[in-house]
Structure 1
Amino acid sequence: MTRSPTSHSRFPSAPPDGLGAAVLLAFLATAGLFYVNIMAAIVDGIVSGIGLSEGQAGQVGSVNIYGAAVGALTAVFLIRAVPWKILAVVCLVLLIGIDLASIGIQTFEALLPVRAAHGFAGGILTGTAFAVIARTANPDRTFGMLLFVQFGLGGLGVMVLPPLAPIYGTQALFLALALFSLVTLVMLPFLSAYPPRAKTNVSEGAIRWGPLGMTLLAIFIFQAANMGLLAYIIRLGLDYGLNRSYVSTALGLATWVALVGPLLVMICGLKFGRFKLLLASMALTLIGTAVFHYSANPAAYMIANCGTGITWGFVIAYLLGMTAEFDKAGRASAFGGFVSKLGLASGPMVAGWALAGGGGYPSLVNLAVAGLAISGVVMLWPARTLDRARKQAA
């Protein structure tokens, strides 16, 4: 580590574009949304720990992410007015305080606004971290590191935390979140200053609203369908007769296996075009999701989790990349992240309503399959449009 020439910090700072800084920034970005990676454990913990209904638990998870979506938009304005390290410290302290306060809450009415506030602070933190990552020389590598941190620690979380929920209630869940924020807070002083980059005179160009709108719609439905099922995936396994230990292990392993998805994106790139890759991956997604109907078989449950985890990471990486193609200025990419969070938030809420209506988990699987099928149809037209434009340019 070296001391930043633009900072008077007493702490040595990691080289701003080095691997160490990428790890630190990955933790900073993950801290605000880490609960998303362990959403299944949180929903299960709320149900088994404090006795809320499955529908109420889903709503708690949803408002947490809705708060993050609003916070992410707010960060766009705050990052210009407030030094980013001060903003990060405030958010991390708020996250720790809210998680610790959540331990003593036992009612749905009290937990709902508290977790919404947690999401808002986390969204601001994540938006701030993304803005800082954009100031590095190699943001792609840092976002790649972010994905590995999220999937790796998320896998560990869903393996370790669910068995603790029936014993310790929500205490273990919220303590884990507070501990993660505390570790990130300790890391923060070792980051460089990352001042804003000078503006360029590059023309922003016209936004291609038609295919962009279709891409954003596909992102929303795809994320909602996936997260709606994932939020209840522990409860689904238990309902089909699997034991809690096996369910936790299966989810943890599936989260780590899912790293294959973004790795394949980096390998395949655009050499095969987007249309064919998305068509094939969505077909596999539909098959893998339908396999959850056979979750009474432990092997089927494991295969379905691993398969859909891989395709989730694969497809969403291409969809977010498509938003950048339709708007070179980057405005659409930022909005794509916002739409993605809205989808992640809406999924558990709709799934909770479906379960509250008495449909059961087979109906929830069917709902997810239907949503994924719709998103697949919607995303293929803009993908074909981009492939044709790329061929013409070549």
Structure 2
Amino acid sequence: MPMSSKPLSAGSATASSHLALLAAIVLFAAITPTVLMTAPAVAAQLATQWNLSPSRIGDLFSAELGAMSLATLPAFWWLKHADWRRVALLAGLAFISANLLSIYAIDYSTLLALRFCSALAGGSLMIVCLSSAASTSNPSRVYGLWVMGQLVVGAIGLSVLPRLFGHYGLAACYLSLAILMALFLPLARCFPQGAPAAPTGPDAAPSANKGKIVLGILGILTFYISLSGVWTFIGAIGAAAGIGAEISGEVLAIATLMGIVGAGCASLIGERLPRGLLLLAGYGLMVGSVLLLLGQPALARLALAALVFKFTWTFILPLVLACLADLDRSGRLMNASNLVIGAGLAIGPAIAGRLIESSGSYQPLLIGAAVLTFTSLLLILGCRRGA
């Protein structure tokens, strides 16, 4: 009996370290994009408190999104040469400092610079989270929790922040972010020091060829262009069909909850079912939800389309990220995906807006989005190992 105590202790320690890493990935990834996830509430407060024009508010959010994407560039160096735990600690301290200083910003240019710095630090933390998740034994489950954490914090923020803004102004948001990051900062030591060493010998997996990597990157780019284009204008599609803004808003709020359910399902299923089958089902439902919006959708059809669209979007994303993680466990490909996600989020609404203006209807946008979604499916299936 005494001989079994050591293996049991080692197994317990391994499980404990895995849970600590999982907590670090989910919590850091949930906090860093909070301002973007609660953009409607923050934008309304910026207009009220700072009297900013829509263009200036848009520039502020574009700067945050751009900074999170630009964090990819220095990461190509530090992913290979620096201790990821030290990077996470320094990025967390920079995030705290930028948010505390944002409370005392007295002009727009200062606030813009501080939000850029905060998002740059947050983007670096996000890259550590993405890369660390790629090194786990069940990436699809971890990425499911990664997405779910962001959605939960976004939903809580949208319900709580307006009340806090009424008493304390924008300082409530920035101070909350600084406090939460300070509370979670000790978890930075739970990240790996760097990418896991590649196995050698007969057990070594063949390295992915560059063609599959390109297919994977294009797959996630087309996925984000499609979903961001449709989601940006889904409220306008409802308004054009005669559905009131209040009712449409309630539908989209419920759809956000369905997004949490979708990410939770992806996490619970993990590797229990064949990933290819899950991708086919998820992408198929997503294409169907986009096509449901064609014409003048009644309230029931709009609600069904929105709920299915949000559910499948967050259900597919962890599976897609897991496919990319299979191609490269070093974290460099996940780092590149961070840049591609930002690019897709920026490109989608820009293309969608021009399609709507040039045609005078939403049909070209919806058909184009359905085609792009199907293209993304083909690209992701093509990039998988053994495909």
Would the TM-score normalized by the shorter structure come out above 0.5? yes
1:257 shift after superposition: 3.3
Residue 102 of structure 2 aligns with which residue? 102
Q: Please tell me whether the aligned partners of residues 40 and 230 of structure 1 are also in contact (alpha carbons under 8 angstroms).
A: no
Residue 260 of structure 2 aligns with which residue? 256
For residues 226-265 of structure 1, what are the structure 2 equivalents within 5 Å? 226-227=227-228, 240-242=244-246, 250=254, 253-260=257-264, 262-263=266-267
1:119 shift after superposition: 1.7
Which residue, 207, 210, 217 being the options, matches 2:209? Answer: 207
Matching of residue 27 in structure 1 with residue 42 in structure 2: no
Residue 284 of structure 1 aligns with which residue? 288
Flag the 1:269–1:204 CA change in 2: closer, same or farther, 3 A: closer
Distance in 2, matches of 1:14 and 1:263, equals 20
1:379 shift after superposition: 1.9
Flag the 1:253–1:377 CA change in 2: closer, same or farther, 3 A: closer
For residues 38-49 of structure 1, what are the structure 2 equivalents within 5 Å? 38-49=38-49
1:87 shift after superposition: 2.2
1:181 shift after superposition: 1.5
Matching of residue 269 in structure 1 with residue 274 in structure 2: yes
Residue 307 of structure 2 aligns with which residue? 306
TM-score by length of 1: 0.71
Matching of residue 317 in structure 1 with residue 318 in structure 2: yes
The one-letter code matched in structure 1 to 2:33 is L
Residue 78 of structure 2 aligns with which residue? 78
Flag the 1:376–1:389 CA change in 2: closer, same or farther, 3 A: same
Could you give the per-residue CA deviations for residues 262-307 of structure 1, whole angstroms, max 9, x where no partner exists?
Answer: 2586364336374x4255123234146669976xx6x777655433
Which residue, 360, 370, 378 being the options, matches 1:373? Answer: 370
For residues 1-394 of structure 1, what are the structure 2 equivalents within 5 Å? 17-105=17-105, 109-134=109-134, 139-162=139-162, 164-165=164-165, 168-188=168-188, 191=190, 194=193, 197-201=196-200, 202=204, 205=207, 207=209, 209=211, 212-227=213-228, 240-242=244-246, 250=254, 253-260=257-264, 262-263=266-267, 266=270, 268-270=273-275, 272=277, 274=279, 276-277=280-281, 279-287=283-291, 303=304, 305-323=306-324, 332-347=333-348, 350=350, 354=353, 369=366, 372-383=369-380, 385=382, 390=387
Distance in 2, matches of 1:388 and 1:196, equals 20
Flag the 1:237–1:286 CA change in 2: closer, same or farther, 3 A: closer
Q: Please tell me whether the aligned partners of residues 38 and 157 of structure 1 are also in contact (alpha carbons under 8 angstroms).
A: yes
The one-letter code matched in structure 2 to 1:98 is A
Distance in 1, matches of 2:377 and 2:312, equals 15
Q: Please tell me whether the aligned partners of residues 223 and 343 of structure 1 are also in contact (alpha carbons under 8 angstroms).
A: yes
Distance in 2, matches of 1:133 and 1:388, equals 18
Higher percent of residues as helix: 2
1:136 shift after superposition: 5.0
1:309 shift after superposition: 1.7
TM-score by length of 2: 0.72
1:212 shift after superposition: 5.0
1:320 shift after superposition: 3.1
The one-letter code matched in structure 2 to 1:179 is I
Flag the 1:248–1:281 CA change in 2: closer, same or farther, 3 A: closer
- For residue 71 of structure 2, give the secondary structure of its aligned residue in structure 1: helix
Q: Please tell me whether the aligned partners of residues 260 and 311 of structure 2 are also in contact (alpha carbons under 8 angstroms).
A: no
- For residue 161 of structure 1, give the secondary structure of its aligned residue in structure 2: helix
Aligned residues: 367
Flag the 1:322–1:256 CA change in 2: closer, same or farther, 3 A: closer
Q: Please tell me whether the aligned partners of residues 38 and 158 of structure 2 are also in contact (alpha carbons under 8 angstroms).
A: yes
Q: Please tell me whether the aligned partners of residues 141 and 318 of structure 2 are also in contact (alpha carbons under 8 angstroms).
A: no
Q: Please tell me whether the aligned partners of residues 204 and 329 of structure 1 are also in contact (alpha carbons under 8 angstroms).
A: no
The one-letter code matched in structure 1 to 2:90 is V
